[in-house]
């Protein structure tokens, strides 16, 4: 259980540095605060309608928090040289990667739980009710989403040797997933079809699959299904027919799981072979 020792120390260090409290305050402000403001401005009558405002900010805040928390997990210690001290203890490189993953994921998870509890209070105060099942499913989905982005950040950090490279990579990843990826399906469509789509209706299913490869989009779409399972999504309306398996809810979980496993595996593979001398 050497990885558990690394994870516990990593979490304690984050708590002492006040990183945990800053991330928690930001998440509470943007989720519960945003949901309360939306409820006042939009005059929503049902708690299920307001619940979407708890998950919507998470699509941006969770990746940002995870990348900030985890991008220096290994790269920072490699540059400072403290990684040699850590590996001088009875820890393998696998223990370090796994321990860092779980330690930083716990930081994001604590912030997420506190923010969702604050959101539950807002729902009860504004609407007098709490859709428990939908609320719990959305919370679990968001916790998993946070773990995914911590995995991406830790895997990337394991590949980098300096803080500057890790920081540049974290900033780049955030902008890719939040902004740049929106243009990727259009670019693929142009290459395949020889032109840009003129209308959204009639787009091929693979176009939406390229959108869903982005973990942020996979999370948002899955959250919509969980909160409003009987509401047709934009993809269903545009396809106007049967939904292929790679756009169904269960496959969105597969996409998120792949984004967790693959970056961590690649980061560990690189970290295992690098010369730390």
3-state secondary structure of 241: coil
Q: Tokens for 118?
A: 């604050």
pLDDT digits (tens, 9 = 90+) for 30-52: 887 777 776 666 555 566 667 77
The whole-angstrom separation of Cα 115 and Cα 89 is 36
Vertex 145 angle, CA 5 and 139, to 5°: 95
Backbone angles phi, psi at 80, to 5 degrees: -75, -20
CB of 274 closer than 8 Å to CB of 161: yes
CB atoms within 10 A of CB 56: 18
Q: What is the pLDDT of residues 92-134, one digit of tens each?
A: 888 889 999 999 999 999 999 999 998 888 888 877 778 888 8
CA separation, residue 244 to residues 64, 126, 229 (Å): 31, 39, 17
Q: Quick one: what percent of the chain has pLDDT higher than 90?
A: 29
State how far the Cα of 99 lies from the Cα of 261, in Å rounded to an integer.
15
According to the model, what pLDDT value does residue 240 have? 63
Residue 71: C-alpha distances to residues 5, 58, 167, 240, 264 (Å) = 20, 19, 7, 41, 12
Question: At which residue do the structure tokens 């999504």 appear?
Answer: 233
Contact 160, 266 (CB under 8 A): no
Q: Return d(Cα 182, Cα 180) in angstroms, integer.
A: 5
Per-residue pLDDT of the chain (277 residues; tens, 9 = 90+): 588 888 888 888 877 777 778 888 888 888 877 777 766 665 555 666 677 777 778 888 899 888 888 888 888 888 877 777 777 777 788 888 999 999 999 999 999 999 999 888 888 887 777 888 888 999 999 999 999 999 999 999 999 888 888 888 888 888 999 989 989 988 888 888 877 877 665 778 888 899 999 999 999 989 888 887 665 556 666 666 677 888 888 899 999 999 999 999 999 999 888 877 6
CB-based contacts of 247, cutoff 8 Å, min separation 6:
205, 208, 209, 212, 235, 239
Output DSSP code: residue 29. I
């Amino acid at each position: 259980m050497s990885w558990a020792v690394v994870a516990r120390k990593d979490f304690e260090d984050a708590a002492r540095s006040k990183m945990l409290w800053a991330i928690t305050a930001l998440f509470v402000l943007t989720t519960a605060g945003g949901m309360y403001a939306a409820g006042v401005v939009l005059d929503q009558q049902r708690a299920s309608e307001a619940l979407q405002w708890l998950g919507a900010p998470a699509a941006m805040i969770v990746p940002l928090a995870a990348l900030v928390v985890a991008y220096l997990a290994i790269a920072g210690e490699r540059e400072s040289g403290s990684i040699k001290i850590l590996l001088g203890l009875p820890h393998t490189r696998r223990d370090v990667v796994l321990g860092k993953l779980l330690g930083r994921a716990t930081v994001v998870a604590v912030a997420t739980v506190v923010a969702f509890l604050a959101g539950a209070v807002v729902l009860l105060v504004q609407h007098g009710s709490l859709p428990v099942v939908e609320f719990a499913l959305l919370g679990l989905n968001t916790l998993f989403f946070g773990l995914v982005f911590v995995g991406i950040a830790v895997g990337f950090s394991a590949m980098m040797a300096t803080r500057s490279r890790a920081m540049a990579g974290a900033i780049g990843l955030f902008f890719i997933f939040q902004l740049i990826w929106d243009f990727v399906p259009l670019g693929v469509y142009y290459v395949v079809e020889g032109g840009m789509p003129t209308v959204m209706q009639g787009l091929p299913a693979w176009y939406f699959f390229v959108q869903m490869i982005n973990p942020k989009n996979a999370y948002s779409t899955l959250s919509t299904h969980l909160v409003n399972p009987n509401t047709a999504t934009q993809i269903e309306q545009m396809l106007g027919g049967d939904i292929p398996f790679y756009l169904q809810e269960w496959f969105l979980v597969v996409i998120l799981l792949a984004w967790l496993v693959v970056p961590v595996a690649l980061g560990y593979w690189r970290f295992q072979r690098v010369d730390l001398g």
